[in-house]
Structure 1
Amino acid sequence: MRKFFTLIVIVITVLFLGAAHLYWKEKTSAYAPAPKVEKKDAASSKGKTKKPVKAEAKDVLASTANWPKKAQDAFKKAVEEGRPYKIAFVGSESVGKEDGGWSVMLQEAMDKTYGDTVEVELFEYAERSDEFINNGHADEVAKFNPDFVLFEPFTLNDNGNVEVEDSQENILTFISTVKEQNEDALVVLQPPHPIHGATFYPSQVNQLNEFTNVEGLDYLDHWSAWPDPENEELRTYLQDKQSAPNEKGHEVWFEFLRDFFIAK
């Protein structure tokens, strides 16, 4: 009888231990960590999807909304090709390259907005339009191979020194020189700064505007942002001899061009 009872105890013990082992195994497997998924590196996925345009490049396309359509398309193409879109600011000493004028401020603003998608170069010459051409400066600009040129064609410096017809011919020579290097280059004209109390100068600027219409050129008339030339207040925007803008004048000029080159 005692042997039978001992056998029963052993059987029950074995069954209990076996059940406990199965319960523990099931419990631990239910909470096992998920298998680790190995991340694919950039090299392994290369070529499987179309390479997107950089996020920052996509963003800057909207900033060109005020540009001529031709320039917008050329800029987009340059971004897609991964090369900088080259822009040249060209003109007389009123460009303000040496004293932090509108060109310098605009260059900095465009660098901040467009980053390495644009390359802006400044060209300033204290000359008349005929000197600019005869001294080979048009070739200097052309060698930069710009896609876009904002040109202030020395109208104030030519005043009383170069006939209007000759000034216009010099403009055409400059454009032709630039296009010999890059036939798709866009040249946009703008007048120099306004001056107070002038007699013939405003008429010459009007003729410049008419000339751009005849030639089918784009023209940025920033005079609308300045005080009226007949208003004495205009002198507070210019240096003593009115040969160039002062800091206040450069700020007005800069803000006008910034709103064109960098759409809000």
Structure 2
Amino acid sequence: MHKPALPLEGTDTFQDQIRIVLVETSHSGNIGAVARAMKNMGLGNLWLVNPNSFPDEASYARSSGASDVLDRATVVSTLDEAIADCVVVMGTSARGRKVPWPVIAPPDAAATASEAAKGGRVALVFGRENHGLSNDELQRCHYHIHIPSNPEYSSLNLAMAVQVMCYELRMHYLRGLEGEEGSPYLKAMTRPGDEGWDVPPAEVHDVEGFFGHLEQVLVDVDFHRRENPRQLMTRLRRLFQRAGLDQMEINILRGILTAVQKAAGTHGKAQGLGKNNEAVDKAAEQEDGHV
């Protein structure tokens, strides 16, 4: 039995104005894989031109929860039927045709398709697994899309080719949202202070307290000599400042340092290691609930 359909939250990405058209697909499992690729990127309008076998269990099994895309699929006999009501048609093709045709890369194709979809339906056409689209079919396309794969191994699985285009369409859609309410999917979250980070960045006085504490511990364990410091603390300072610590990370690090001092029998001897030492001593206990 095939997996039940998961909610298709993104079918309004292009209001179904952009359709994926598969021409004479020979392996029904590829149709299911295409449905999965589409649903991953928020598209749900699938057209099938004279498939060898559909619907069948193989296509639904390969869809992995995208069976609703297959349920909605439109099956027609000819490519002309699939593109008759479209204003722009794009077909995937390798370069090297005798008569040059407008050729665009996937990102440009996504931008062109998205713009055209504002005024009518757009078809992205993918050919047969073994030899793609015929010259006659390609001549029905306004643009040819060329995926710049490795020329020494350029053959892409059908679903992979569809995934490339659906991804580019999705990215173009999300970038368009940034000018409005913004798209959280495209915003990087790499350090404290970024939207979505769970703990605020460490403040300077807390970081300086950590550096003082670190230096003292290194002295306690005979790893560092203040009278002959060389560049140790400078390099450690550069290391930790490059990391961009948050408040909890500072507490955890100072808790580790305190544990080292207790093990070395030096805890409490040094002064001036920063304020809130009591809170620092409890950091090891706190980390279990925050890491």
Q: Same fold (TM over 0.5)?
A: no
Q: Considering fraction of residues, name the structure with more helix.
A: 1
Name the larger-Rg structure. Answer: 1
Query: Given the two structures, how large is their TM-score scaled by the length of structure 1?
Result: 0.29
Query: Given the two structures, how large is their TM-score scaled by the length of structure 2?
Result: 0.27
